[in-house]
Structure 1
Amino acid sequence: MIAGRSLFALSAFRFPLLRYSASPRHIAVRVSPEKTKRLDLIHQRAMSEPSAAQKRVGDDDPEVSAEVEAPSLKRQKFTTDSVVPDIQMSDVASELAPESASEQVADGGAVEVEAEVEVQVGGVIADSPSSPSNTKKSDSSRPRRAARDRKARAEAEGTAVVRLPKRQSALLIGFCGSGYSGMQIQPDGVKTIEGVLFKALVDAGAVSQDNADDPVKVSLARAARTDAGVHAAGNVVSIKMIVTVPGVKDLVGRINELLPPEIRLWGFSRVQNSFNARLVCDSRKYTYYFPSYLLIPPKPDSGLHRVLLRKQQEVASPQSTSSTETPSSDPSSSPLHPFWGSAPPGSTPEDDLVRKREWRVGQADLERLREFVRKYEGSHNFHNFTVGREFGDRSNLRFMKEIRIEDPVVHGNTEWIAVMWHGQSFMLHQIRKMMAAIVLSCRTNTSPAIIDELYKSNTVFIPKMPSLGLLLEEPLFNSYNGRMAAGNERLQPTDADYRPPIDFEVHREKIDAFKEQFIYKNMRGIEDMSGLFDAWVRSVDSYAGKDLLWLNQSGKIPSECVIRKGERRNHPFKEKRIFDTTSFPSETGLIKKQLLKEESVEAEGEEGQSEEEEVLDKKQLAETEG
C-alpha cells in the first residue's frame, strides 16, 4: 500500500480527478462520467454528515484507467487489464472548506480540496520498464500511519480532528543572523533561523500539529543556506503549509507577531506542487561589506611583511648578476607605504586603528580591486575557495554571473566598500575566501595572475574574511517566473491555477528599512566598538609561516605553500573562531581578550580541528551550498 496526499476536484461539469504524486513518477486515475453522481453524493454527505463520508471509489469500475508519467516526461497509458487501482477516500469531510466549497459548487465551479488517500496497484504493469514496483512499501507511509493512529485515538476520546488543506508555498523572509547557528534547521535543538520560523508557523496554525514534529513532512527547503551569523535581506523557504487558517485574517501579520523582530516574513506565494526552493533557484546575490583600511599594506616588521619580503628577495637574487651582495631581509630596506611612513614611532594597535579609520582609499586601489574581481567572472574550478573538496570534484565548477565593486561610502569615521556577488550558486565559505584572496592580494601588491593559478590543481590555504560583512541579498527565480508568466496569460490573479512570481521588489521599502535597522547598524556597531576587521587583518599580518607565500608579485604558487594530502604542515595558519561570530556583548576589549585566549591555547599545544580540517561527506557539502 502506497500512501500519499491527493488533490480531489469536485465538479458537476467535468470529470473529477484523483491525483497521487510520488517522486519521480505521477499516477493519475480518472473516474468515468458514471461516477460523477456518486462523488457528488459523497460531497453532500461530507457537508451534512462528516463522519459518514468514507466511500470506496474505483474498486469495481471497469472504465477506470491510469496514466504513468515517467521522469522522461513520456506518458504511457494502461487499461484496467494491466492496472487495477484501489482508491479509498479517507475522511473527505475533514479536508473540505465547507463555506467556500458550497459557494463554488453552487456557482457551477470546481472545488479543489486536499484529501488523504491510499493507492494500491493490484496488478502487474507489463511491458513498462518505467513502472513503479508494488513489492516494497514506501517509507513515506509511516508518518501517514502515525497521523491516522493519532486521529483514531482522538475519535476514541470523542474529540474532533480537523485537517485543513495544505498548499505548496514560497515564503519570502529576511533575518539578522547574529546569535543564530546558521539558516538550516538542526535536529539537536540548536537555535537556527529555520527552527524559529518553523515554530512560528506551527503556533500560527500554518503547520498542523500532525506535522509539527518533523519539517520533512511539509517538504521544508531553503534557496540559500547561510553560515552561522550571516545575515539575509531576502531568502526563500519552500514549504507545504496551510494558507487559510480559521480565525486568522492576516496570516503574514500573525506569523510576524510570533517571530522575533530580527526575523521577518515579507510574504508568501502559492507555487507549483513540485517547487523546491534550492533546486528551482537560478542564482543568488550576496553583498560583502568591509572597511577600506583593510587595503593598507601589512605593518613593517610584522610576521607577514618579513616572510613575504624574504621570499621576494630569494626569487630576485639569482637574477641579480651585477652584484655579489647578499639580499637583505631587513624590512626597512623596502619602500614604506605612505600610511606607515607617517606613523609616529612606537604606535600601538589602538593608535593605528584611529588613523586607519581616517584613511581613504584611492582610485588606483579601487581599479586594482575591480581588475581582480573580473578574474572571478565566468565558470571556474573554485576548489581552493571552499573546504572538503579535491581538485577533480566536478562540483567545484561554479558560474559567477557578475561581481561589482561599489564606490566607497563613509559611515561615522570609517569608509566602507561593498562588493556585490551574483553567482549561480556558492559553496561553503566560498565568498569569504574569494574576498580574502582579493583583499590580501591587493594589499601585498600580488599579481592578478594568481587568481588563474588558484583555479589549477595545486591546493593552497586561503583564510576567510569575517562573517560580519556577508549579507545574502536575495535568491533569483527568473526561469520559474518566466514559466509561470506564460501559464498565467489567460488567467486572473483570483483563479485557482494562477501562480504569482517570486519577487522581492514588492517588499523593497520594508526590506531596506530592515537592513538599515538590524543588519547595517549591527555591522557598523560591532566594528566601531571592537574593531573586528582590524583584529582580523592583524591576525593575518602576525603570521610568519609559509601558507601565504602565494601572495607574491610573480603570480605563481611556490612549492613551499602547496598543501599535499597526508603531509603535515609546519606552522600552519590557524584561523580564529571569533571571526565567525557576528554577535558580541557590549564589553570593551572583548575581541582582544578572546584572541589572547585562543593564542594561549595554541601556545600550550592544544590542537583542535579548524574548519578547513573538518571532514564533510558529499551530502553534507551539498546541504551547505546556497
Structure 2
Amino acid sequence: MFWVKMGRISILGVHSRSFYKNIFLRSISIPSQIPIATDHEKFYNPTSNKEKLNEENVLKVVKPLKQKKKKFAILMAYCGFGYHGMQGVSALAQVISVYLFSSCTDSMEKINSYLPPEIRVLGIKRATNGFNSRNMCHSRTYSYTLPTFALSRSGGTAPDSSFRLPREDFHLVNRLLSFYKGSHNFHNFTNSILPTDKSARRYIIDIHCTEPFVQSGVEFTRILIKGHSFMLHQIRKMVCLVIAVARGLASPDLLPYSVQMDKVNIPLAPGLGLVLEFTHFDSYNLRYHESPLHDPITWEEFLPAREAIREERIMPVIIKGEINDLSMCLWLQRLSIHNFMNVKKN
C-alpha cells in the first residue's frame, strides 16, 4: 500500500510532486528520506491492475487534515515600563485569551526565546470556547509600592536611609485605607465620569498596607488593593488621597466627601509603583473545575517564577525611579501646593 501511495504522487509534475510528497510525509509521519518513484514508472490502483490513477485521485489521497484552533488562556508576567498597551502597568498575573493550534502550546522555552526578557509567558492553559479573559475575571489585585517616607508627616520630602515609618503612622495609613472598603461612588477617582453614572460605583473587597521592607537602604511598603473592577486611574487617585491625608496636606473629612456627589480635584500619584498582582477567575474555575478538557486559571504553580520576575525586572526599575530619579519626591512637591477643591466648571 505504501508504494502505491507514493506512486500516485509520481504522476504529477516535478514541482507538484515535491509539494504533495511533503504534505503526505507530514500526514503519516514517515521520514523524508524515503525514495519516490519517477514519472516514467507505472503504478496501478490495488483494486484494479489495469486502472491507472488520475490527478483527481492523487489529490484525494494526499489532502491534508484540517487542524482546528482551540481557545487557550495565556498567563503572562512583564515589566511594563517602556511599553504601551494594557494601561502601561507592570503585571505579575496578566491573562489573555486566544485561539491557537494545539501544536503551538508545547514549548514554553521556545515561545519565551522570541520575547524580550521583560516579558515572560508563564503558562498556557486550555479554556472553554466562550472564555474571555477580561469579562470572566472575577476580581483583580493590584499592589502599589512606594517609599515609606511619603506616608508620614515626619518623613521629609526625599528618600532617607535612616527613616523608618513609625508604627502609629503605619496603623493610621491602614485606618485611612479601610475607608475605601465596600461599595462607593468613585466618580472623582477617574476621568469624565458623572456622579450619576452607574459605572462609577465600584466595590473594593480589601485594601491594606503591608509590613515595610528595606531595599538599597531605603524603606518601602506595598499597598494591596483587591476589587471586582477598577476604572482608569482609580487606584493612583485613591493612593494620592491617602498620602495627602497621612501627611497633613488634606483633611480626613475629604475621604468621605470624595465619594459624594460634589466634584473633588484629585491628582494622580506616580504610576511607577503600580503592579497587577493577581487576576482571579473564581466563578469560571468553580463552574468548570470538574471538566477534564479545561484547566483552572490559577497562579499557585507560578509563584516562584512571578517572584523572580518581580525581583529581577520590576523592583530594580521602581528602586531606581525612587532613589535616583526621585519620582515620589518630585510629586510630593507638587502635591504640597495642590488645591483639592479647585474644580473646573463645565
TM-score by length of 1: 0.44
Q: CA deviation at 1:479?
A: 0.7
Query: Is contact 1:458-1:563 (8 Å) kept?
Result: no
Match of 2:285 among 477, 481, 490: 481
Structure-1 residue corresponding to 2:77: 174
Structure-2 residue corresponding to 1:530: 325
Q: Read off the aligned partner of 2:158 and give its amino acid letter.
A: L
What SS class does the counterpart of residue 158 from structure 2 fall into? Answer: helix
For 1:455 and 1:372, the matched residues in 2 are separated by 14
Structure-2 residue corresponding to 1:439: 243
**Mapping of 1:132-171 within 5 angstroms?**
164-171=67-74
What SS class does the counterpart of residue 520 from structure 1 fall into? Answer: helix
Query: Is contact 2:244-2:335 (8 Å) kept?
Result: no
> Which of structures 1 and 2 has the larger relative contact order (alpha carbons within 8 angstroms, sep 6+)?
2
**Mapping of 1:193-208 within 5 angstroms?**
none
For 2:129 and 2:101, the matched residues in 1 are separated by 14
For 1:404 and 1:474, the matched residues in 2 are separated by 15
Q: CA deviation at 1:563?
A: 2.5
Q: CA deviation at 1:182?
A: 2.7
What SS class does the counterpart of residue 280 from structure 1 fall into? Answer: coil
Q: Read off the aligned partner of 2:134 and give its amino acid letter.
A: R
Indicate yes or no: 2:117 matched with 1:261. yes
For 1:294 and 1:477, the matched residues in 2 are separated by 34
What SS class does the counterpart of residue 103 from structure 2 fall into? Answer: coil
Query: Is contact 2:177-2:242 (8 Å) kept?
Result: yes
Structure-1 residue corresponding to 2:316: 521
Q: CA deviation at 1:233?
A: 0.8
Query: Is contact 1:459-1:564 (8 Å) kept?
Result: no
Query: Is contact 1:381-1:397 (8 Å) kept?
Result: yes
Query: Is contact 2:92-2:310 (8 Å) kept?
Result: yes
Structure-1 residue corresponding to 2:94: 235
Q: Read off the aligned partner of 1:267 and give its amino acid letter.
A: G
What SS class does the counterpart of residue 395 from structure 1 fall into? Answer: helix
Indicate yes or no: 2:290 matched with 1:387. no
CA distances 1:118-161 after superposition (whole Å, capped 9, x unpaired): xxxxxxxxxxxxxxxxxxxxxxxxxxxxxxxxxxxxxxxxxx99
Q: Read off the aligned partner of 1:172 and give its amino acid letter.
A: L
Structure-2 residue corresponding to 1:310: none
What SS class does the counterpart of residue 232 from structure 2 fall into? Answer: coil
Q: Read off the aligned partner of 1:507 and give its amino acid letter.
A: F
For 2:230 and 2:64, the matched residues in 1 are separated by 44
Change (3 A) 1:99 1:386: farther
Indicate yes or no: 2:158 matched with 1:353. yes
Q: Read off the aligned partner of 1:293 and give its amino acid letter.
A: F
Query: Is contact 1:293-1:359 (8 Å) kept?
Result: yes
Match of 2:206 among 391, 402, 425: 402
Structure-2 residue corresponding to 1:499: 294
Structure 2 residue runs of 5 or longer lacking an equivalent are 1-7, 10-22, 30-62
Change (3 A) 1:368 1:445: farther
Query: Is contact 1:171-1:238 (8 Å) kept?
Result: yes
For 1:535 and 1:445, the matched residues in 2 are separated by 15
Match of 1:244 among 103, 106, 126: 103
For 2:286 and 2:327, the matched residues in 1 are separated by 43
Q: CA deviation at 1:564?
A: 5.2
For 2:344 and 2:335, the matched residues in 1 are separated by 22
Q: CA deviation at 1:446?
A: 4.4
Query: Is contact 1:384-1:454 (8 Å) kept?
Result: yes
Query: Is contact 2:27-2:64 (8 Å) kept?
Result: no
Q: CA deviation at 1:367?
A: 1.1
Structure-1 residue corresponding to 2:13: none
Structure-1 residue corresponding to 2:144: 288
Indicate yes or no: 2:231 matched with 1:427. yes
What SS class does the counterpart of residue 353 from structure 1 fall into? Answer: coil
Structure-2 residue corresponding to 1:127: none
Runs of 4 or more, structure 1, over 4 Å off, are 97-100, 160-163
Indicate yes or no: 2:265 matched with 1:461. yes
For 1:277 and 1:468, the matched residues in 2 are separated by 25
In the alignment of these two chains, the number of paired residues is: 291
Q: Read off the aligned partner of 1:422 and give its amino acid letter.
A: K
Structure 1 residue runs of 5 or longer lacking an equivalent are 1-47, 50-93, 101-159, 184-226, 298-336, 341-351, 492-497, 549-560, 567-626
Q: CA deviation at 1:448?
A: 3.4
Structure-1 residue corresponding to 2:166: 362
Structure-2 residue corresponding to 1:563: 343
For 1:409 and 1:240, the matched residues in 2 are separated by 42
Query: Is contact 1:293-1:357 (8 Å) kept?
Result: no
Q: Read off the aligned partner of 1:412 and give its amino acid letter.
A: S
Query: Is contact 1:408-1:415 (8 Å) kept?
Result: yes
What SS class does the counterpart of residue 471 from structure 1 fall into? Answer: strand
